């Protein structure tokens, strides 16, 4: 049976997860491999990739990289070429929020949020695009957040600003490189139930009460349930596949209708 990504090589950053379960990057690695891609799974923490590798049924190689470091990203791209010979797909999943508005955040925390959520996308694209251009094309899928579109229940101005910028970065890059056969799109996840909820967000926003936070988040979703990283991955899979050959410079919002509501 032919897979939708047969013969493609996909670099997936943030392919591990902060805990067990379906983070966006882990789910993408599993889904892409299932569809025939050779996956180059990248994460800052090698141990975070263990479950990812265990879940993948297909070809996967792992690499440790700080995607906010230019030299490290350049080496990561070359490592993928050395492993698989080419790069057809880049999926950027690295990101995370820090609570606080402009008064509460320190300047250092503000800059760290921009680096983690936005500069990481800039650097991977900076080094992957020349490879794709040389090959005659490719597909880039960047992961933003509904926090980049509207207020989502918590002041996190650094994260929201960076994720909004990811959307516009993707649009501009898509237009610039359309003639190179490179498509660039964005997946915009809403309030999903990923391992991040238990490991980080509950402590930041609900005093450690996971169930209280889940209830708060679910109440905002018209469909009445929360998706998980697999929902983000399926959207990214479409955008990375040839089925989306005429789709570039746009976004798919994966949020159960949350951002369509007025309240």
What is the overall mean pLDDT for the chain?
A: 94
Phi, psi of 252 (to 5 degrees): -115, 120
Phi, psi of 34 (to 5 degrees): -60, -30
Helix spans in the chain (H): 24-34, 50-55, 70-84, 107-114, 120-135, 157-177, 195-196, 202-205, 210-218, 229-240
| Domain limits, the chain | 9-197+229-251
Active site residue 234: no
Structure tokens at 30: 């599993």
pLDDT tens digits along 230-259: 999 999 999 999 999 999 999 999 999 999
**Cβ–Cβ < 8 Å for 168, 175:** no
Structure tokens at 22: 């379906």
* pLDDT for 48: 95
* pLDDT for 207: 66
Split at pLDDT 50, 70, 90, the class of 154 is confident
Residue at token pair 């791209």: 77
Of the residues 32, 84, 122, 159, only one is catalytic, namely 159
* pLDDT for 215: 85
Q: What is the mean pLDDT of residues 3-25?
A: 94
Give pTM, 2 decimals: 0.94
CATH superfamily of 9-197+229-251: NAD(P)-binding Rossmann-like Domain (3.40.50.720)
* pLDDT for 257: 97
* pLDDT for 142: 98
Least confident range of 8-17, 127-136, 177-186, 211-220: 211-220
CA 219 to chain CA mean position, Å: 24
Beta partners for 38?
9
**Cβ–Cβ < 8 Å for 159, 147:** yes
* pLDDT for 3: 96
**Cβ–Cβ < 8 Å for 238, 186:** no
**Cβ–Cβ < 8 Å for 53, 60:** yes
**Cβ–Cβ < 8 Å for 15, 41:** yes
**Cβ–Cβ < 8 Å for 10, 32:** yes
Task: Report the C-alpha gap between 149 and 253 in whole angstroms.
Answer: 10
Q: SS3 for 147?
A: helix
The burial class, CB within 10 Å (0-12 / 13-18 / 19+), for 224 is: exposed
pLDDT tens digits along 205-219: 556 677 887 888 888
**Cβ–Cβ < 8 Å for 147, 256:** no
Radius of gyration of the chain (CA): 17
């Amino acid at each position: 049976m032919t897979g939708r990504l047969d013969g493609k090589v996909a670099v997936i950053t943030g392919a591990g997860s902060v805990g067990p379960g379906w983070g966006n990057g882990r789910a993408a690695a599993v889904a892409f491999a299932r569809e025939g891609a050779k996956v180059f799974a990248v994460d800052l923490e090698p141990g975070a990739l263990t479950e990812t590798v265990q879940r993948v049924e297909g070809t996967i190689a792992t690499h440790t990289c700080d995607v906010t470091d230019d030299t490290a990203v350049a080496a990561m791209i070359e490592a993928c070429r050395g492993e698989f010979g080419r790069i057809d797909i880049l999926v950027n999943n690295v990101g995370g929020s820090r609570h606080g508005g402009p008064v509460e955040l320190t300047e250092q925390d503000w800059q760290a949020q921009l680096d983690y959520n936005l500069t990481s996308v800039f650097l991977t694209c900076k080094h992957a695009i020349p490879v794709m251009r040389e090959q005659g094309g490719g597909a880039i899928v960047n992961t933003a957040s509904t926090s980049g579109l509207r207020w989502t229940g918590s002041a996190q101005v650094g994260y929201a600003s960076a994720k909004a910028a990811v959307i516009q970065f993707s649009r501009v890059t898509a237009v610039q490189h359309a003639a190179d056969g490179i498509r660039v799109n964005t997946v915009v996840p809403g309030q999903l139930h990923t391992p991040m909820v238990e490991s980080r967000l509950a402590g930041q926003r609900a005093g450690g009460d996971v169930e209280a936070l889940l209830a708060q988040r679910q109440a905002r979703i018209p469909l009445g349930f929360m998706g998980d990283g697999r929902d983000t991955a399926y959207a990214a899979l479409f955008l990375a596949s040839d089925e989306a050959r005429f789709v570039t410079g746009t976004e798919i919002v994966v949020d159960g209708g949350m951002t369509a509501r007025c309240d």
